[in-house]
């Protein structure tokens, strides 16, 4: 199989590349290395089945040819991370929406119908704090708009574009809403919580919990995420669907800090930092976020292999 991965030198994309190369597939990655890194794909560069192009996919002239070559496309390239989103709110909209549109147009113009997997995000649920978040919930217009909402809006737009191209031109497309994904190669530079906690615990520095720490998240190991994405792409009945991809074990940031400290055998103290100090602006965090996985499991029979403890270790 020929697999094109946009943003494939990033955290999740590099694990997808690894999965497909291990299976003997040919993998083509395009990435501008804005948040991704050559180190993430370094081990694959010598492999004959791997091709890497460092390029901004907004202006990459070979996009159409690459799309025509592919049997499957994972579109992951995006401006990500709370710090970048707060620093460059307009760029988030411009890059994330335009990159997705350009890719879908390239697929359509190629006249070929590869399986497309679009990376959306649990951020589209906004401040919806239901016990469990189902794909059928309406994405209401947020009443708590902030800079961060731009990222959510860019992903909502990508979903709409993907499903519209799918319906209009019959391109097999599945939209996957990733919940917090963690694991090897994730960088803490852009605001990801677990790499930051682990680094602080290992260095014996204070573990900084933003806000009260009572907010909860559900973390999925990236090695589980990529298996789920592959299963969704391979399944015939996923076309035109939106599917949550994550883990439904919920943990508060206070409990997470404690867990990281224990697993690292660290003496670090756990301190609370107001959002304003952490992000430089008032920031209303989402209180809880936990996915319904009924659709993912029903379609693919997917089961997790990694516990949070194993991921942290
Ligand atoms: P990442 O930053 O590691 O990966 C994104 C990649 O896209 C990077 O390698 C970056 O260099 C590349 N990129 C950005 N703009 C580009 C452009 N114009 N042209 C080419 N490449 C470009 O982040 P990730 O965590 O691996 O995220 C992958 C996807 O999953 C993103 O679309 C993100 O929105 C989505 N997502 C991730 C999470 C998570 O918890 N990690 C949660 C929800 C959604």
Write the CATH number for 42: 3.40.50.720
Q: Which residue has the higher pLDDT, 191 or 56?
A: 56
Q: Whose CA is nearest to atom 44 of ligand 1?
A: 121
- Residue 138 belongs to some domain of the structure: yes
The tens digit of pLDDT for each residue in 2-46 reads 999 999 999 999 999 999 999 999 999 999 999 999 999 999 999
Question: What local confidence, expressed as pLDDT, does residue 126 receive?
Answer: 82
The binding-site residues of ligand 1, defined as CB within 6 angstroms of any ligand atom, are: 7, 9-13, 30-36, 56-58, 76-80, 95, 99, 119, 121, 178, 180-181
Contact 8, 27 (CB under 8 A): yes
Q: How far apart are CA 281 and CA 146, in angstroms?
A: 10
Q: Is the per-residue pLDDT at 129 higher than 80?
A: no
> What is the helix (H) or strand (E) element at residue 258, kind and residue range?
helix 253-263
Q: Is 54 helix (H, G, I), strand (E, B) or coil?
A: strand
Q: Is the per-residue pLDDT at 223 higher than 60?
A: yes
Question: What local confidence, expressed as pLDDT, does residue 188 receive?
Answer: 67
pLDDT band at 115 (very low <50, low <70, confident <90, very high): very high
Q: Is the per-residue pLDDT at 141 higher than 70?
A: no
Contact 240, 173 (CB under 8 A): yes
- Residue 190 belongs to some domain of the structure: no
Please give the residue range of the domain that contains residue 232.
2-181+221-246+291-303
> What separation, in Å, do the N-terminal and C-terminal C-alpha atoms of the chain show?
34
The tens digit of pLDDT for each residue in 228-276 reads 999 999 998 899 999 999 999 999 999 999 999 999 999 999 999 988 8
pLDDT above 70 as % of the chain: 95
- Residue 162 belongs to some domain of the structure: yes
Q: Give the burial class of 90: count Cβ atoms within 10 A of its Cβ; 0-12 exposed, 13-18 middle, 19 or more buried.
A: exposed
- Residue 132 belongs to some domain of the structure: yes
- Residue 61 belongs to some domain of the structure: yes
Q: Is the per-residue pLDDT at 139 higher than 90?
A: no
Q: Is the per-residue pLDDT at 148 higher than 90?
A: no
ipTM exceeding cut-off 0.85 for this assembly? yes
288 half-sphere exposure, CB direction, 13 A CA radius: 13
Q: How far apart are CA 134 and CA 156, in angstroms?
A: 15
Distance of CA 196 to the CA centre of its chain: 17
Pick from 6, 8, 10 the residue to mutate for probing ligand 1's pocket: most ligand atoms within 8 Å of its CB: 10
Q: Is 60 helix (H, G, I), strand (E, B) or coil?
A: coil
pLDDT band at 147 (very low <50, low <70, confident <90, very high): low
pLDDT band at 277 (very low <50, low <70, confident <90, very high): confident
- Residue 8 belongs to some domain of the structure: yes
Q: Is the per-residue pLDDT at 114 higher than 60?
A: yes
Q: How far apart are CA 140 and CA 262, in angstroms?
A: 39
Distance (angstroms) between ligand 1 centre and the Cα of 158 equals 14
- Residue 173 belongs to some domain of the structure: yes
The tens digit of pLDDT for each residue in 78-113 reads 999 877 888 888 999 999 999 999 999 999 999 889
Q: Is 27 helix (H, G, I), strand (E, B) or coil?
A: strand
Pick from 12, 84, 121, 187 the residue to mutate for probing ligand 1's pocket: most ligand atoms within 8 Å of its CB: 12
> Which of 312, 297, 222 has the alpha carbon at shortest distance from 258?
312
Question: What local confidence, expressed as pLDDT, does residue 84 receive?
Answer: 84
The DSSP secondary-structure symbol of 141 reads P
Is-catalytic flag, 74?
A: no
pLDDT band at 140 (very low <50, low <70, confident <90, very high): low
Distance (angstroms) between ligand 1 centre and the Cα of 191 equals 13
Nearest-atom number in ligand 1 for the CA of 77 is: 7
Question: What local confidence, expressed as pLDDT, does residue 30 receive?
Answer: 98
Looking at beta carbons, which pairs linking 202-206 to residues 24 or more positions away fall under 8 Å? 202/264, 202/266, 203/268, 204/266, 204/267, 204/268, 205/268, 206/268, 206/269, 206/270, 206/271
Question: What local confidence, expressed as pLDDT, does residue 118 receive?
Answer: 98
Considering its fold, how many domains does the chain have in total?
Answer: 1
- Residue 28 belongs to some domain of the structure: yes
Overall size of the chain counted in residues: 313
Place of tokens 């574009």: 161
Q: Which residue has the higher pLDDT, 115 or 237?
A: 115
Q: How far apart are CA 138 and CA 110, in angstroms?
A: 33
The tens digit of pLDDT for each residue in 165-216 reads 999 999 999 999 999 999 999 876 766 899 999 999 999 999 999 999 999 9
């Amino acid at each position: 199989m020929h697999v094109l991965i946009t943003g494939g030198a990033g955290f999740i994309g590099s694990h997808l590349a690894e999965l497909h190369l291990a299976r003997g597939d040919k993998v083509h990655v395009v990435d501008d290395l804005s948040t991704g890194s050559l180190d993430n794909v370094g081990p694959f560069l010598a492999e004959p089945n791997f091709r890497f192009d460092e390029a901004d996919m907004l202006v990459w002239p070979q996009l159409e040819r690459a799309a025509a070559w592919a049997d499957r496309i994972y579109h992951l390239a995006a401006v990500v991370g709370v710090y970048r989103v707060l620093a460059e709110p307009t760029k988030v909209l411009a890059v994330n929406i335009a990159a997705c549109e350009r890719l879908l147009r390239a697929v359509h113009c190629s006249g070929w119908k590869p399986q497309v997997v679009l990376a959306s995000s649990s951020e589209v649920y906004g401040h919806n704090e239901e016990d469990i978040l189902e794909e059928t919930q309406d994405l209401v217009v947020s009443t708590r708009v902030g800079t961060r909402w731009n990222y959510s809006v860019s992903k909502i737009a990508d979903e709409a574009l993907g499903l519209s191209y799918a319906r209009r031109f019959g391109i097999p497309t599945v939209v996957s809403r990733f919940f917090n994904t963690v694991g090897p190669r994730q960088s803490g530079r852009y605001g990801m919580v677990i790499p930051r906690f682990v680094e602080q615990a290992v260095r014996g520095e204070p573990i900084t919990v933003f806000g009260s720490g009572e907010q909860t998240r559900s973390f999925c190991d990236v090695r589980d995420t990529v298996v789920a994405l592959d299963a969704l792409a391979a399944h015939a009945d996923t076309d035109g669907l939106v599917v949550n991809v994550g883990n439904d074990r919920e943990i508060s940031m206070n409990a997470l800090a404690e867990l990281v400290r224990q697993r690292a055998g660290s003496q670090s103290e756990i301190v609370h930092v107001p959002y304003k100090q952490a992000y430089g602006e008032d920031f209303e965090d989402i209180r809880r976020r936990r996915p319904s996985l009924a659709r993912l499991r029903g379609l693919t029979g997917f089961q997790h292999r990694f516990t949070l403890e194993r991921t942290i270790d």
